[in-house]
Structure 1
Amino acid sequence: MPRLVEHGVAGRISRQDPTVWGPAAESEAAVRLGWTRLHETSRDLVEPLRELRAELAAEGIDRVVLCGMGGSSLAPEVVSGTAGAQLVVLDATHPDQIQRALDGDLAATVVVVSSKSGSTVETDSQRRAFEAAFTAAGIDPASRIVVVTDPGSPLQQAAQEAGYRAVFEADPNVGGRFSALTAFGLVPAALAGVDVEELLDEAAAVADVFAEDTEANPALVLGAALAGTSPLRDKIVISDAGSGLFHLGDWAEQLIAESTGKDQTGLLPVVADPGAPELAEPVASDVLPVLLTALTDEPEDGQPDESGGQSTEVTVAGALGGVFLLWEHAVAVAGQLLGINPFDQPDVESAKAAARGLLESTPTPEPPAFTDSGVEVRTSSGPAAGATSVAEAVQALLDELDGDRGYLAVMAYLDREGPASTLLAGVRPGLARRTGRPVTFGWGPRFLHSTGQYHKGGPCVGAFLQITGTPSAVVDVPGREFDFATLIAAQAGGDAGVLAELGRPVLRLHVTDQDALAWLAGVLTGPAA
């Protein structure tokens, strides 16, 4: 803290000084600091959004579907959920999820297509599917599509040529994961009925505080807590104890992982419940617990706190707009302390490129090494190559974990809104108890725009468990030579391939039905270490 104050880090970030993160990051930082003033610069969006929502309501259009990935979907999900507004967030390529969104009341639906460039394969495929569905229903697709993108992007040009209902330009000087208060965060939420002006007011109320170079600055405190410990406590276990902020941990997960997980360093966010095994005493030396709480006073003397008595190291509370800005400043500070550029994501593209290659070449699927109780096991040359059962394969992967610094990532390329979410609910904490190490859980391809960067660019101490399945629905991608089942399979295969090439231990398990998934969940949460 004294060094951060001495070097004026808080004030320099607020003044948009690109030199804070060193010469190597300067060119990138120079065009990525617009987020520090969004509480002022995004005001021009408020009235046009009110007018568009009123127009849509007058036409009986009140179902809002958001097609977007990463920063384009996570913040709107938090904003809408916190306000109790209904927003269908489609940040998936699983055919069952796509079909569920298409089966909604199209007569009452407006689709928000959010992408900085428009080239994101998930979002482009979703847009194509909705255009075809509107046309089949006798609805003019252009009248039902609203675009959020960067000025001059290919998507902006295509939207104008197609005559879409509205096009909102986001600040091009803001990266995706810092875009909560740009058009990417505000447009979907406002159309769903959220008062986004209040969100900007909440951020404005604390912006000057975060610019102060004092040890009382909460953004400096949080940034120092995240990245200023020695030795570094680089597993940030985030739990929510009644904050009232819907899925804020998922948004913070992307912000932290994608901003810091590079150059073989970084902070791994682990989204967990307050009673998670990672938070049981004694907390591991590389774990930093962060508790999200409501904006209230501390518990009265003699009263237990929301954490169940655990020794919470960091407590974060505040109104949502202010909390967005708090975390953004804190992660920027953490990047300075770690000596990395928090605004690039050099390893995100690798999995995308691998997926594109698989879509273009459509190779013959790799045969499983063996099948056990409806679960196909693919081990290649990984740690479980000699296994003959799922239990053996899983144990072989877990044996790869570093008992002092390692983590396990569970990557489920399944329908996160279907039965899988219930069947796998106990897997993350179960594996954490079994291994005694932090465990992350991500739905694919959603996590590729979040922890996927950390998996490939962060410290090489992870083990990776991929779970895939056979979709029920068959949904084509209009104008493409692949359907959504092929797309999600290519994304899973590409991700696993890149991890394996980087020397990360990967185990791939493919379930053939729900019964096999339920059985697998039991195997994964087997005996504790």
Structure 2
Amino acid sequence: MTTETSVEITDEALATAAEPLVRQLVDEGIAGKLAAQDPSLWGPDAESEAATRLSWTTLHDSSRSLPADIDALRAELHAEGLDRIVLAGMGGSSLAPEVITATAGVSLVVLDTTDPGQVADALSGDLERTVLVVSSKSGTTLETESHRILFEQAFSENGIDPASRIVVVTDPGSPMEEAGRNAGYRRVFTADPHVGGRYSALSAFGLVPAGLAGADVATLLDDAADTFGLLNADEEGNPALRLAAALAAAHSQGAEKVALADTDSGVVGFGDWAEQLIAESTGKNGTGLLPVPVENAQAPGFATAGRDTTTVAVGPASSPAQVGTSGRLGGLFLLWEFATAVAGRLLGINPFDQPDVEASKEATRSLLDEPGGGPISTPALIEGAIEVHTAGTWLAPGVGSVTQALRTLIAAAPETGYLAIQAYLDRLDDASATVLRPELARRSGIQTTFGWGPRFLHSTGQYHKGGHQNGAFLQITGEPEADLDVPDRPYTLASLQRAQALGDGQVLAQNNRPVLRLHLTDRAAGLVELVKAIQELREAQPDQGTGKDRT
């Protein structure tokens, strides 16, 4: 893997279009101002919020004391035979630790789900060796609080003092900090409150769970520090300025989507982390960049990308990538954070707010007040183990099969739109659902994303409501084999999962977006049937991104 962080623009037309933007950014001294945490860079409306969201630019220095603290706690835990780390966290609290540990090749159990089967699997692990890291910036994250309560109960039922096994990462003054200290939890780490969740990879949110799992987080900070010297320079060779300019120039020409593929970078799962950073930072005010992590550089949506997409390699740039971003993980984190913030300036948006995320949360809370997490709707049709449900009135009566429903959904997306697959399933047991993205991308002829629910609600969920309004949405829910009651709460995990799906679907429908929900009454059988239904769609012509020759 290349050690120095770099950006290569291999597409000549894109490089030419980006050049004047790079010169503009250099002339305005944007890199130096960003490194100095100038909150005025995104205009007066964003200034008050930006003033409390820019400490991420120097985390490579301000986090220096953390690795020693983490190593000391890890040694203490290992001396007691505690070496299984479970992380309960959503969005920015889980995505970075997952990339860090996967790249380092160390084990971390990540709970960013409300699926009862996946949570039960984590609870069934060896509790005698388990430490739970509860990570939430606000200290009130509904999913994470549910996980904490369930693990406390499991520890107690197995004769284990819960307080001795729980580590908290949160902002100072949050309800979770207070609760953790009052309960005498093993350790409470507080992070810099002037760092937003999606920019927190090099803060306690990224480093504590990854370091406890065994990743070398000190080297991660070293690599970020080396890269900072490149990113704060007001020079045309600054890789962050070049990346931001390329993305903004492409967007101005209609390439509102960014397909991300790994090209032997040595980093595992980087696209999933970058997805939240890009989507939640830029997807608002009817504009933005939609990230599309794909399986590899030969995958549909990358190798067949149309004019609406910029193809970016995480690793060396090679055809069909238009841009390549290389370097070590710590440097790549910082590169993309700088570039995304600068791209926000070029797009004319505030990259630090998320004005459309709360709507789905409010809808979920409202549905949780109803039995079972919301009303039971009558399926438009039932085919085998698949029930077809719709939000809104876009699906005409008389649709007689799952294949026809999918065809109608694809046709409902505007030209150069996108299809978002949202799987409210078990990320482990239902992992085969990921094949749906390339299968539908190949046959739809439009960019297709895949997100596990509810974790995407803390990520691309902002773009879906606030970005370009040209998406069509395929929700996949499934009947769980068993449910889990959340102690002292008026809901079960299955009802929470259902409320999250229905709530987000309601908000999307209110935004006049087509939503098709396929409920699998038998998950294994239903997924097989769904793949067959997709394969009955005629494969689209290779001119993807033009809206022509829809399936």
Q: Structure 2 residue aligned with 1:520, among 517, 527, 530?
A: 530
- In structure 1, distance between residues paired with 2:475 and 2:66: 41
1:212-231 to structure 2, matched below 5 A, reads: 212-229=233-250, 230-231=252-253
- In structure 1, distance between residues paired with 2:301 and 2:495: 36
CA root-mean-square deviation: 1.2
Aligned residues: 512
- In structure 2, distance between residues paired with 1:62 and 1:456: 41
Normalised TM-score (structure 2): 0.91
Q: Structure 1 residue aligned with 2:395, among 384, 389, 396?
A: 384
Partner of 1:440: 449
Task: Provide Cα deviations, 1:235-284, integer angstroms capped at 9, x if missing partner.
Answer: 10000111111100000000000000000000000011211222335x41
- In structure 2, distance between residues paired with 1:383 and 1:397: 8
Partner of 1:290: 312
- In structure 1, distance between residues paired with 2:427 and 2:502: 19
- In structure 2, distance between residues paired with 1:80 and 1:381: 42
Q: Structure 1 residue aligned with 2:459, among 426, 450, 465?
A: 450
**109-118 or 381-390, larger mean C-alpha shift:** 381-390
Q: Structure 1 residue aligned with 2:289, among 267, 273, 298?
A: 267
Give the CA deviation at 1:411: 0.5
1:299-310 to structure 2, matched below 5 A, reads: 307=318, 310=319
Partner of 2:144: 123
Partner of 2:303: 280
Letter of the 1:522 partner, please give it.
Answer: K
- In structure 2, distance between residues paired with 1:206 and 1:517: 44
Q: Structure 2 residue aligned with 1:395, among 403, 407, 411?
A: 407
Q: Is the 8 A contact 1:99 1:473 kept in 2?
A: no
Q: Is the 8 A contact 2:434 2:450 kept in 1?
A: no
Partner of 2:6: none
- In structure 2, distance between residues paired with 1:65 and 1:364: 33
Q: Secondary structure at the match of 1:93?
A: coil
* 2:367 maps to 1:355: no
Partner of 1:87: 108
Letter of the 1:398 partner, please give it.
Answer: I
1:116-515 to structure 2, matched below 5 A, reads: 116-229=137-250, 230-272=252-294, 273-280=296-303, 283-293=305-315, 307=318, 310-362=319-371, 363-386=374-397, 387-403=399-415, 405-418=416-429, 420-422=430-432, 424-513=433-522, 514-515=524-525
- In structure 2, distance between residues paired with 1:267 and 1:382: 28
Give the CA deviation at 1:122: 0.3
Give the CA deviation at 1:373: 1.4
Structure 1 stretches of 5 or more lacking a match? 295-304
- In structure 1, distance between residues paired with 2:388 and 2:438: 23
Letter of the 1:245 partner, please give it.
Answer: V
Task: Provide Cα deviations, 1:100-125, integer angstroms capped at 9, x if missing partner.
Answer: 00000000000000001221100000
Partner of 1:3: 24
Q: Secondary structure at the match of 2:47?
A: helix
- In structure 2, distance between residues paired with 1:138 and 1:332: 48
Letter of the 1:425 partner, please give it.
Answer: T
Which portions of structure 1, spanning 4 or more consecutive aligned residues, are displaced by more than 6 angstroms? Answer: none
**475-484 or 102-111, larger mean C-alpha shift:** 475-484
- In structure 2, distance between residues paired with 1:380 and 1:168: 42
**241-250 or 143-152, larger mean C-alpha shift:** 241-250
Normalised TM-score (structure 1): 0.95
- In structure 2, distance between residues paired with 1:44 and 1:479: 38
Partner of 1:298: none
Q: Is the 8 A contact 2:391 2:509 kept in 1?
A: no
- In structure 2, distance between residues paired with 1:381 and 1:454: 20
Q: Structure 1 residue aligned with 2:94, among 65, 68, 73?
A: 73
Give the CA deviation at 1:379: 1.9
Q: Structure 2 residue aligned with 1:45, among 36, 42, 66?
A: 66
- In structure 2, distance between residues paired with 1:380 and 1:285: 30
Give the CA deviation at 1:380: 4.4
Q: Is the 8 A contact 2:297 2:321 kept in 1?
A: no
Q: Is the 8 A contact 1:39 1:203 kept in 2?
A: yes
Q: Is the 8 A contact 2:392 2:514 kept in 1?
A: no
Give the CA deviation at 1:85: 0.9
Q: Secondary structure at the match of 1:279?
A: coil
Letter of the 1:401 partner, please give it.
Answer: A
Letter of the 1:360 partner, please give it.
Answer: D
Q: Secondary structure at the match of 2:369?
A: helix
Task: Provide Cα deviations, 1:69-126, integer angstroms capped at 9, x if missing partner.
Answer: 0000000000111111110011011000000000000000000000012211000000
Q: Secondary structure at the match of 1:143?
A: helix
- In structure 2, distance between residues paired with 1:232 and 1:336: 18
Q: Is the 8 A contact 1:382 1:507 kept in 2?
A: no
Q: Secondary structure at the match of 1:399?
A: helix
**377-386 or 208-217, larger mean C-alpha shift:** 377-386
Q: Is the 8 A contact 1:499 1:506 kept in 2?
A: yes
Q: Secondary structure at the match of 1:277?
A: coil
Q: 1:31 to 1:170 in 2, by over 3 A?
A: same
Q: Is the 8 A contact 1:94 1:484 kept in 2?
A: yes
- In structure 2, distance between residues paired with 1:466 and 1:425: 13
Q: 1:262 to 1:380 in 2, by over 3 A?
A: closer
Give the CA deviation at 1:388: 2.5
Task: Provide Cα deviations, 1:429-486, integer angstroms capped at 9, x if missing partner.
Answer: 1111112111000010011111111000001100001010011122111110111011
Q: Secondary structure at the match of 1:425?
A: helix
Q: Is the 8 A contact 2:286 2:469 kept in 1?
A: yes
Q: Is the 8 A contact 2:30 2:234 kept in 1?
A: yes
Task: Provide Cα deviations, 1:41-71, integer angstroms capped at 9, x if missing partner.
Answer: 0012122111100100000000000000000
Task: Provide Cα deviations, 1:293-347, integer angstroms capped at 9, x if missing partner.
Answer: 16xxxxxxxxxx8x5xx33210011011011000000000110000000000011
Q: Structure 1 residue aligned with 2:83, among 40, 59, 62?
A: 62
Letter of the 2:532 partner, please give it.
Answer: G
Give the CA deviation at 1:366: 1.5
**518-527 or 155-164, larger mean C-alpha shift:** 518-527
- In structure 2, distance between residues paired with 1:280 and 1:489: 35
Give the CA deviation at 1:365: 1.4
Q: 1:524 to 1:197 in 2, by over 3 A?
A: same
- In structure 2, distance between residues paired with 1:426 and 1:158: 41
